[in-house]
Amino acid sequence: MEFDAAEDAADARAAARASRSAAARAIRPLWNQVYFPNLLLSSGQGAMIPVLVYAARDLHASTAAAGAVVALNGLGTMLFDLPAGRVVSRLGEQRAAAFAAALMAFGLSACLLANSVALLAFGVFVQAAGAAVWILVRLTHLSRVAPAIARGRALSLFGGIIRAGSVIGPFLFVAVGSRHDVRPAFAIALVAVVVAYAWQRATLGQGDAEGRRRSEPHSFRRLVRTHRRGLLTAGAGALAVSLLRGSRTAIVPLWATHIGLSSSAAAELYAWSSLVDLALFYPAGAASDRYGRRAVVLPCIVLLAAGHVLVPFTHSFDTLFLASFVLAVGNGLGAGIVMTLGADLAPEDGRASFLALWRAVADGGMTAGPLIDSGVVALASLALAGPVVAGLGLLGAVVVALFLREPAPGRLVRARGRNLALEENL
């Protein structure tokens, strides 16, 4: 019996090694095709997002109006999520990427030249619509090419790349910008879009025939009927995570202005907190693959909610950094989890349309977070915004804890790893 136990343990170790090796081989080609262009794009977004509040305030917007401008970054993405599914289906991934880059470049140019809050808001909205198409193109590609054995890692790495951009972008702005002019942030974002699309175009080239394939869009009503249980349970978790993340992008800079921090300080705060959650993206993906999606979603929501509750108790850069640290840990633990849940549910037939629907659910939360913050500010006070959003997010955690059904990824990975180990020995 001891011999059998030792043999089982050796088999398990061999299976784990084979699983890690297979995951690494599956992910390696994605660096040029997906991750690096998205690092560029995310760096541009990372330079722009922390200073949107300051750009609006420079144009004499009120605090509530500045929060609404931040919300438009999510609203443009959310409203274009479903049309993005039709764009990707009808144009194919490669042409849709070109369309997305053109929209983002146009919107960022408007932001760069904005001399009124209305033009700034228009530019933010248009570039966010382009971002919706771009993200769907990348997510469709990843869910198509990443094998199930490495799906959590591949998509958490995608989330980690976005976080890396959130670190690089603000530091780029701090390096080339100034304390009193936020326009360099939009210039950085514009250059990033152009270079990211050029890189993506050069690396994919003519080699990805599936990426050029067009198809008929699927009925969203039918997709909702077919996948309603997953949308109501996994979707509740995705909505809660996105709600808290969207609010995080507004509540921290709004509170930073409230306690008198400069735009450079706010960008630095955003960068350092992003560096914290960047460190967690790969462990989060490995945990998702091994222990299941619920084991990642619940800690993510709870810590993001706790960070929101802490923000109103801060009064300086150092104390706000501590609250941002809690938010960053929660955010990092959920790296890629929203995309992974969507990829788990996505059908082979109608993948782009389903993922567009899934992104609409998630981006609804990203939009609602800052809008709720603005509403609470207008009706009550900024100090109440964080606790209100935290409470709403925790409701989603309850739904996930009680009702989410999922396969056991750990057992699936070990079984596949064992098969791979046997194949290699043969």
SS3 for the chain is: CHHHHHHHHHHHHHHHHHHHHHHHHHHCCHHHHHHHHHHHHHHHHHHHHHHHHHHHHHCCCCHHHHHHHHHHHHHHHHHHHHHHHHHHHHHCHHHHHHHHHHHHHHHHHHHHHCCCHHHHHHHHHHHHHHHHHHHHHHHHHHHHHCCHHHHHHHHHHHHHHHHHHHHHHHHHHHHHCECCECHHHHHHHHHHHHHHHHHHHHHHCCCCHHHHCCCCCCCHHHHHHHCHHHHHHHHHHHHHHHHHHHHHHHHHHHHHHHCCCCHHHHHHHHHHHHHHHHCCHHHHHHHHHHHCCHHHHHHHHHHHHHHHHHHHHCCCHHHHHHHHHHHHHHHHHCCCHHHHHHHHHCCCCCHHHHHHHHHHHHHHHHHHHHHHHHHHHHHCCHHHHHHHHHHHHHHHHHHHHHHCCCCCHHHHHHHHHHHHHHHHHC
Q: What is the pLDDT of residue 243?
A: 93
In whole angstroms, give the CA distance from residue 74 to residue 281: 22
User: pLDDT, tens digit, for every residue of 356-387?
Assistant: 888 888 878 887 888 899 899 888 889 999 99
Residue 100 tokens, joined: 């997305």
Q: What band does 424 get if pLDDT is binned at 50, 70 and 90? A: very low
pLDDT at 418: 42
Alpha-carbon distances, residue 134 vs 39, 81, 305 (angstroms):
13, 10, 29
Residue that has been written with the tokens 């080699």 in this structure:
207
Tokens for 390, please give them: 């935290």
320 pLDDT more than 80: yes
Query: Would you say the pTM of this structure is higher than 0.85?
Result: no
What are the chain's domains?
Answer: 11-425 (1.20.1250.20)
pLDDT digits (tens, 9 = 90+) for 44-81: 998 998 889 889 988 988 877 888 888 888 788 888 88
> Between 390 and 214, where is the model more confident?
390
At 218, the pLDDT band (50, 70, 90 cuts) reads low
* Res 366: pLDDT: 80
Q: Cα–Cα distance between 317 and 315 in angstroms, integer?
A: 7
Looking at the predicted structure, is the pLDDT value of residue 312 above 90?
yes
Distance (Å, whole) CA 169 – CA 127: 17
Please tell me the predicted confidence (pLDDT) of residue 410.
44
On whether the CB atoms of residues 357 and 230 are closer than 8 A, the answer is no
The amino acid at 301: I
The model's confidence at residue 101, banded by pLDDT at 50, 70 and 90, is very high
Closest CA to 87 of 102, 106, 65: 102
Contacts for 35 with CB less than 8 Å, ≥ 6 apart:
157, 158, 161
Q: What pLDDT, on a 0 to 100 scale, did the predictor assign at position 208?
A: 52
More confident residue, 422 or 253: 253
The pLDDT value recorded for residue 416 is 44
Tell me which amino acid residue 307 is.
G
- Which residue would you say has higher pLDDT here, 117 or 10? 117
The Cα–Cα gap between 415 and 19 comes to 9
